[in-house]
Amino acid sequence: MKILVTVKRVIDHNVKIKIKTDKSDVDLSNTKMAINPFCEIAIEEAIRIKEKAEKEGITSEVIAVSVGTSLSQSELRTALALGVDRAILIETESNIESLNVAKILSKVVENEQPDLVILGKQAIDTDNNQTGQMLAALTGMPQGTFASAISINNSKISVTREIDGGMQTLELNLPAIVTTDLRLNEPRYASLPNIMKAKRKPLLIKTPEDYGVIIKQHCKLLGVDSPAKRQTGIMVESVSELVNQLKNEAKVI
Ligand code: AMP
């Protein structure tokens, strides 16, 4: 069983986002970066599948792929410490559009011929939620998006998805593409010995040109802004005062 997982380097989700003074973009200077949380879930699921398969005597391999600047090596090393076997970094400028990423990933899929590709459902920096779907379109592979549970049975995978008002379970033929939702699993932490071992695991560095992909950007970032500051609340003594405030001050009823 060969599993490809995608790893995007994003601002650590615990960090408060800073904006450049000219509001042209988010300020990444001295900002803690990390693996996109949905990609952490993808890595965890791939490792669990590998561990289960190996218990059943099936050899498995997990490969992590990232598209980004050379700094993304750090997130790939973390993936290796978590249990990924080898990693590939395709070096590009920062934040290229999803279609470019999907085109590069489709070439990696063509080269590696994985049985399963697991991506996060979205990257928390751009919130695009489109790379997995684009990759499915480019490769012609079936897709199960927003997975909250998966199970593999011979050449098929069933994917449970949370949809409005309930759950939906799909069955896909492998090779397939799955994107992860939050409830799929709880990612593990890397142990110190595994962090040390990860330094010796293979990390291949490639370029889009190696895969014959020309990067084309279709959108221009015009600017970013912080969310409006929340006004401080007030304490009310009674329900009638609350109703009065909502009616006459906030004017919402
Ligand atoms: P997005 O469509 O940008 O919201 O991203 C969805 C998922 O695609 C992410 O959670 C990642 O697993 C994957 N992905 C997006 N961009 C990259 C990238 N530059 N490198 C690796 N994986 C990526």
Ligand 1 centre distance from Cα of residue 34 (Å):
13
Q: How many domains does the chain fold into? A: 1
**pLDDT, position 231:** 81
CATH code at position 181: 3.40.50.620
pLDDT, mean of each 10-residue run, the chain (253 residues): 97 93 93 97 98 94 98 98 98 92 98 98 96 98 98 95 93 98 96 96 98 94 89 90 92 89
**pLDDT, position 110:** 98
Q: What is the pTM assigned to this prediction?
A: 0.92
Question: Domain range for residue 185?
Answer: 2-249
Regarding the beta carbon of 131 and ligand 1, being less than 6 Å apart is answered yes
**pLDDT, position 198:** 97
Residue closest via CA to ligand 1's atom 16 equals 8
Regarding the beta carbon of 101 and ligand 1, being less than 6 Å apart is answered yes
Ligand 1 centre distance from Cα of residue 247 (Å):
45
Counting from 1 in the atom list of ligand 1, the atom nearest the Cα of 123 is: 4
Lookup: tokens for 234: 């007030």
Residue closest via CA to ligand 1's atom 14 equals 8
In angstroms, rounded to a whole number, what is the distance separating the alpha carbons of residues 61 and 54? 10
C-alpha to C-alpha distances, 69 to 25, 74, 100, 207, nearest whole angstrom: 17, 10, 14, 10
**pLDDT, position 228:** 84
Lookup: tokens for 61: 């391999």
The full 3-state SS of the chain, as one line of letters, equals CEEEEECCEEECCCCCCCECCCCCCECCCCCCEEECHHHHHHHHHHHHHHHHHHHCCCCCEEEEEEEECHHHHHHHHHHHHHCCCEEEEEECCCCCCHHHHHHHHHHHHHHHCCCEEEEECCCCCCCCCCHHHHHHHHHCCCEEEEEEEEEEECCEEEEEEEECCEEEEEEEECCEEEEECHHHCCCCCCCHHHHHHHCCCCEEEECHHHHCCCCCCCCCCCCCCCCCCCCCCCCCCCHHHHHHHHHHCCCCC
pLDDT tens for 69-87 read 999 999 999 999 999 999 9
